[in-house]
Amino acid sequence: MPKVPSLSSEQIETFSRDGVLRLDGLLRPGAIGPAREAVLGQLGRLGLWDGARWTLPQDGRRVKVAREIGHRHAAVEALIEEPSILALVDDLLESRAFDRAVYKRPQILFSLPDALAWSLPGGWHTDSPRLASGERLGVQVFTFLEPVEARGGGTVVVAGSHRLLNDGKSRVPREVNRALRQEAFFRPLYGQAGGAELPSGSVGEVPLRVVELTGQPGDVWVMDLRVLHAAAPNATDRPRVMVTHRFLRADLMDEVAAAYGWAVGALRDGAAVR
């Protein structure tokens, strides 16, 4: 497959600094359109979408994504095979192979409007351990099947947080949370404060800021897997429909298993990394 030109040196620098980067219109309409149709078709069968408009449940009902929408849609799975996505991942993994056993297919992120006013959520986490080698385990890609505007339920991330706790010690996500909550910047996130502003500040020399992943269908965000992030409330009047996938470096899977205290090779048959 021909390599599609991917990131500029400025974009690589931004990604190294922030751990997150937005790429407008990276996915072509011919790829995002069928994925959108597949998922919205499913939401149509649930009576939420009539082909042009949303009808929101008035009874507080929630949608169970895995059971009611499902994650297995060929057109959605095809998104992560798009040359533009593969080139992006190849750039950021420096041409190393990624694992296909742990995360086999992309995941739909769906949330109905669920808040009158937006506030900082709880549930901050990482999906990767810190590795003793200091290596980045991989990247997570997000895109949108419907426009997601500010306060519309887009995932929130702490830009810069991947640069913390790379001190030669391996830490599973629970230990990352425990260490970060000692820092003044993170206390409002782990506490109950729940303000409406997106905080910015620093820990030591590392600048940090909370960023909401917003965008239009086909826009892509890519995130270093070490970045702290959380699901956010949706304070708009339309559902949030996103797709995400994690690309993990295959050559680091044994180090990941060791970080969790599992046997070498434990991840080769596809156990979840959490």
CA atoms within 13 A on the CB side of 17: 10
Site for ligand AKG, residues 57 to 116, rule: CB under 6 A = 109
CA atoms within 13 A on the CB side of 134: 5
Site for ligand AKG, residues 116 to 135, rule: CB under 6 A = 127
Minimum separation from the CB atom of position 245 to ligand AKG (A):
9
- Closer residue to ligand AKG (CB): 20 or 109: 109
What does the alpha-carbon distance between residue 31 and residue 85 come to, in Å, rounded to a whole number? Answer: 11
Minimum separation from the CB atom of position 79 to ligand AKG (A):
15
- Closer residue to ligand AKG (CB): 66 or 263: 66
Minimum separation from the CB atom of position 20 to ligand AKG (A):
13
- Closer residue to ligand AKG (CB): 109 or 267: 109
Residue choice 42, 128, 143, 244 for contact with ligand AKG (CB under 6 A)? 244
Residue 226: beta bridge partners?
none
Site for ligand AKG, residues 224 to 243, rule: CB under 6 A = 229, 231
Residue 240: beta bridge partners?
111
- Closer residue to ligand AKG (CB): 161 or 244: 244
* 176-182 own/partner pairs: CB under 8 Å, 24+ apart: 176/126, 176/129, 176/130, 176/228, 177/124, 177/125, 177/126, 180/124, 180/228
Residue choice 42, 155, 214, 234 for contact with ligand AKG (CB under 6 A)? 155
Q: What contacts 187, CB < 8 A, 6 or more positions away?
A: 181
Number of residues that bind ligand AKG (CB under 6 A): 6
What would the two tokens of residue 74 be? 């060929």
- Closer residue to ligand AKG (CB): 153 or 218: 153
Minimum separation from the CB atom of position 230 to ligand AKG (A):
6
Tally of CB atoms within 10 A around 121: 17
Interacting residues toward ligand AKG by CB under 6 A: 109, 127, 155, 229, 231, 244
